[in-house]
Amino acid sequence: MRKKTAASLVAATAVVVVASLASVPASEQRAQHEAGETIHQSPLPQITAGGQADWPLHNFDITGSRYSSLDDINTSNVGRLALAWSFGVASGTSITQVTPVVVDGVMYLNSGSTLFAVNAITGESIWTATMDDTLPGRGRGPVYGGGRVYAFGAATMYATDGKTGELVESFGDGGRLDIISEALQFQYPDTYPANFDAYSIGYQLTTPPVYFDNTLFAGVALSENHIPGGLVIAADATTGAIKWVFNTVPQGPRDDGWEIVKDTWGDGQKVGGGSGPRRPSTQNWGWSTSMRATRHPTTTGRPGRG
């Protein structure tokens, strides 16, 4: 790890990520979990309330504005920006699509089953949490809410304490939740048995959930895998219990909208429609969806196909 004096929290977030292994301090402490391990490497930063500015969600806030009112960097000084520090990760660790989140001076980013907490002022590693199994790193980063960090890989989500990096035992099964499998079993108990592997039929998480009022709202992909409808899932952020599930491509009478679309499907598969939730107002939730997988041979039974 290489570092220079950080000019500001904002400048520190514009890091250069290099593909080399960060040095590990001799004073590191290890904490074993039932499902993984957390390595503690340095203390949390000390941030005064007046100088604090957080970016807790992938798109900054629940409306997805991606806008911060911070103005330390502006048109008069942007030309003087320089590297404050860089943080190295092991070769093969995929964080190229990740948007880090920053809370209380700590930057969180993950690659599948490995979650990093970094001092956003100095670039020093605070702790690294690793799950026992290898979850793919195709995702856009974690999300912070209620003092917890939620990260994911493939079709699995896990929760750690934001300060200690230790798994939140109350969440799912000892800190990890096969959220898509649980959602399918919740919505279609006669079709998907308990512990069904949702990843095996193409479902996976690629975009971080939205945290609001102790609830996680997750959108599920991938349409190109011809999934049986994109899911929007609401889950309790403390326990992981599924609250409700909405399918963007109704599959049967248990789904909202089935009465509207049931006569349009024909004999083809009802696939595609991967989704991502947004909260455009305090009364409503909205979500974006990808197109239905019209080019797949088994979708040709639908009238008006593309």
Instruction: Give the β-pairing of 16-18 and 85-88.
Output: parallel
Q: Is residue 73 part of a domain?
A: no
* Calpha distance 68→71 (Å, rounded): 8
Q: Which domain holds residue 2?
A: 1-43+53-66+83-172
Last residue of a domain, one of 125, 148, 172: 172
Whether residue 294 lies inside any domain: the answer is yes
182 with 165, same domain: the answer is: no
User: What CATH number is associated with residue 116?
Assistant: 2.40.128
For the purposes of burial, counting CB atoms within 10 Å of the CB of 181, is it exposed (0-12), middle (13-18) or buried (19 or more)?
buried
306 and 269 share one domain: yes
- DSSP per-residue letters across 274-289: -EEEE--SSS--EEEE
What is the number of H-type helices and E-type strands within the chain?
3, 19
Q: Is residue 304 in a domain?
A: yes
CA distances from 294 to 212, 258, 288 (A): 34, 19, 18
Domain boundary among 143, 172, 201: 172
154 and 187 in a single domain? The answer is no
User: What was the pLDDT predicted at 65?
Assistant: 87
Q: Does 292 lie in the same domain as 156?
A: no
Tell me what pLDDT residue 23 has: 40
**Predicted local confidence at residue 244, as pLDDT:** 95
Q: Into how many domains does the chain fold?
A: 2
- Specify whether 62 is located in the same domain as 147: yes
- Residue 5: the pLDDT is 31
Cβ atoms of residues 153 and 140 within 8 Å: no
Kindly state the tokens that stand for 49: 């309330």
The pTM of this model reads 0.82
- Residue 211, pLDDT score: 94
DSSP 60: B
For residue 66, give the amino acid letter: R
* Number of alpha carbons in the 13 Å side-chain half-sphere of residue 163: 4
Same domain, 146 and 187: no
Q: Do 158 and 264 lie in a common domain?
A: no
User: Of 111, 145, 102, 146, whose CA–CA distance to 131 is shortest?
Assistant: 111
| Residue 258 and residue 243 in one domain | yes
Residue appearing with tokens 């030309």: 79
Interatomic CA distance for residues 160 and 176, integer angstroms: 9
Tell whether 184 and 212 lie within a shared domain: yes
- Three-state secondary structure along 83-121? CCEEEECCCCCCCCCCCCEEECCEEEEEECCEEEEEECC
The secondary structure of 176-204 as a DSSP string is EE-HHHHHHHHH-TTTS-TT--GGGGT-B
Same domain? 214 vs 305? yes
pLDDT in tens, the chain (306 residues): 333 333 333 333 334 332 233 344 445 676 666 677 889 989 998 876 555 689 999 989 888 888 888 888 999 999 999 999 999 988 888 888 899 999 999 999 999 899 999 999 999 999 999 988 888 877 899 999 999 999 999 999 999 999 999 999 999 999 999 999 999 999 999 999 988 999 999 899 988 999 999 999 998 877 778 888 889 999 999 999 999 999 988 999 999 999 998 888 777 778 877 766 665 555 666 666 665 555 544 444 455 544
Cα separation values, 269 from 40, 225, 245, 292, Å:
49, 12, 20, 10
Q: For residue 255, what pLDDT is reported?
A: 94
Q: Which domain-ending residue is among 125, 154, 172?
A: 172
Distance, CA of 284 to CA of 120 (rounded, Å): 34
CA torsion sign for 200, 94, 26, 47 is negative
